[in-house]
Homo-oligomer: A and B are copies of this chain.
Amino acid sequence: MGSTERIRNVAKRVAKWARAGHQMVVVPSAMSGETNRLLALAKELAPPKADDAFHRELDQLAATGEQASSALLAIALQAEGMAAVSYSGWQVAIKTNSAYTKARIESIDDARVRADLAAGKVVIITGFQGVDEAGNVTTLGRGGSDTSAVAVAAAMKAQECLIYTDVDGVYTTDPRVVPEARRLKTVSFEEMLEMASLGSKVLQIRSVEFAGKYKVPLRVLSSFTPWDIDIHEEAKSGTLISFEEDENMEQAVVSGIAFNRDEAKISLLGVPDTPGIAYQILGAVAQANIEVDMIIQNVSHEGKTDFSFTVHRNDFARATDLLKSDIATKLGARQVVGDAKICKVSIVGIGMRSHVGVASKMFRALSEEGINIQMISTSEIKTSVVIDEKYMELAVRALHKAFDLDQQPA
C-alpha cells in the first residue's frame, strides 16, 4: 500500500467484498518504502557484528511498518462505514519460533478473530510478523506478508486466500520474453511451486508451500484492478492455485515455461564410480554453505563417471576453487570444468505425469532451433535443460510455441 489514496482504495475493495456477505480478514503489507526506510535507519546505527540481540531489535523495528498500515486500513474502513479492527501479530496471536528476521509460523490462535467476524467486523492482521514463546516480536523475512495471509487463511479455514500483487496472475512464461504468453486461469500447487522456484517471482515460495501444506486455495490477482469492478468478475480474475485436480488441468500437458539465468554449472570429470562419491562432493560443497540446484550423474564408463551440478552464479568461483584445490585431488578426478554463461529452461506441467513424449517434444523443439542441450534433469512435472545463456529467449519462445501455450486450452 502506497499513499493514503491507495489505502482508501483497498478499503473500498474490502468493503465491497464484505457488503457482498463475505467475512473478511485482511493482511496488509507495510506502506511502500516504509520497511526499507526503517531498515536503512537501522543500518546507519548497526553494530559491527550482527548477533541475535541485533536481529531481535531489527524485528521490533521492522514490525512497526505493518502495524501502522493495518491501523490506517482499519481507519479507512471505518470511514467507509464498516466496523473494523486491526491486530498485530502478538495480539492474534501468531506464534512463531525465535529465528529473528526469518521466523516460521508455529500456530495461530483464531478465537479473537472469529469473535470479531461473528460480530460483523472486518479484521485486519499485520502481515510479516508474529511473536515467539517469550513474547519477542519476530518477522518472517521479506515477502512474509504473503505467508502470513496464507497462514491466517489456513487457520480460519478460509474459502479462498486472495493475494493482491503487482501482476495480474501467473503466466505461461514471462510476457517480456514471449509477448504471446497467456495468463493461466488455474495452476496446480505443484506447478506453482516449480514456477515460483524457477524464477516466476509472483509469490514468495514459502507462502506457496504453506498453502500446499494446509490446502488453502490461493488466488493471485492484481491490486491495480479498479476497486469497483463487478465482484463476480473480480472473483474469477487472476490465477487460482488449486489443490484439486479438476479436468481443466488435465487438458494442458505443459502449463508454463520457466527460466533462470542466475546459475552456473560445474563438472568433475572422470571421478571413480564408487559408493559415497556424491556425498563426498556435495557434502563439502554444502559445508562451504553453497546451495546446489540441479545434480546430474550419468552411468559410468570404465569405472569412471562425470558428476555435474549447478550453483548460483555468485557462488561459482568459490565452488570451483573448492573443487580444484581440494576435492578433485582427493577423489582422483581427471578435471574440473565449469561454465557461468548458462541458463536453465524448464517446462512445467502436472499433465506430464500421464503423457509420454513430452520431453522428447521439448528436445526436438530446441534442436530445430539449433540449440545444444548441455544438461538434462527431469522430475514428474518438470523437465529442465541447461543451455548456453545466449539462447535463452529463443528457447523459451520456441517451447512456448511448441506446446501451444499461446492458445487457450480447449
Interface residues of A (CB under 8 A from B): 4, 7-8, 11, 38, 41-42, 44-48, 51, 53-54, 56-58, 60-61, 63-65, 67-68, 70-72, 74-76, 78-79, 81, 83-86, 88, 90-91, 135-137
B-chain residues with CB within 8 Å of residue A51 when the two chains form the complex: 78
B-chain residues with CB within 8 Å of residue A90 when the two chains form the complex: 90
B-chain residues with CB within 8 Å of residue A74 when the two chains form the complex: 53, 57, 60
User: From residue A85, how far is it (CB to closest CB) to chain B in Å?
Assistant: 7
Do A83 and B53 have beta carbons less than 8 Å apart?
A: yes
Please judge, given known A-B contacts A60-B67, A60-B88, A84-B53, whether A79 and B135 are in contact too, CB under 8 Å. no
Q: Is the interface of A mostly helix, strand, loop or mixed?
A: helix
B-chain residues with CB within 8 Å of residue A4 when the two chains form the complex: 41, 44-45
Please judge, given known A-B contacts A4-B44, A46-B79, A91-B135, whether A60 and B70 are in contact too, CB under 8 Å. yes
Give 22 CB contacts A-B under 8 Å.
A4-B41, A7-B45, A11-B45, A38-B68, A45-B76, A45-B79, A47-B81, A51-B78, A53-B78, A53-B83, A53-B84, A54-B78, A56-B85, A57-B72, A57-B78, A60-B70, A60-B71, A60-B86, A64-B64, A64-B65, A64-B67, A90-B90
Please judge, given known A-B contacts A44-B4, A53-B83, A53-B85, whether A71 and B61 are in contact too, CB under 8 Å. yes
B-chain residues with CB within 8 Å of residue A85 when the two chains form the complex: 53, 56-57
CA distance A245 to B8 in the complex (A): 58
The count of identical subunits is: 2
Do A46 and B75 have beta carbons less than 8 Å apart?
A: yes
Interface centre among A11, A67, A75 (most CB of B within 10 A): A75
CA distance A46 to B78 in the complex (A): 8
B-chain residues with CB within 8 Å of residue A64 when the two chains form the complex: 64-65, 67-68, 71
User: From residue A9, how far is it (CB to closest CB) to chain B in Å?
Assistant: 11
CA distance A175 to B38 in the complex (A): 39
From A31, which residue of chain B is reached at the shortest CB distance?
B41
B-chain residues with CB within 8 Å of residue A45 when the two chains form the complex: 4, 7-8, 11, 72, 75-76, 79
User: From residue A61, how far is it (CB to closest CB) to chain B in Å?
Assistant: 4
CA distance A65 to B86 in the complex (A): 17
B-chain residues with CB within 8 Å of residue A65 when the two chains form the complex: 64
CA distance A380 to B32 in the complex (A): 58
B-chain residues with CB within 8 Å of residue A136 when the two chains form the complex: 91
User: From residue A5, how far is it (CB to closest CB) to chain B in Å?
Assistant: 9
CA distance A398 to B64 in the complex (A): 52
CA distance A46 to B57 in the complex (A): 31
Q: A45-B79, A57-B78 given; name 18 further pairs at CB < 8 Å.
A: A7-B45, A45-B76, A47-B81, A48-B79, A51-B78, A53-B74, A54-B78, A56-B85, A57-B71, A57-B75, A58-B71, A60-B67, A60-B71, A61-B67, A61-B68, A61-B72, A90-B90, A91-B136
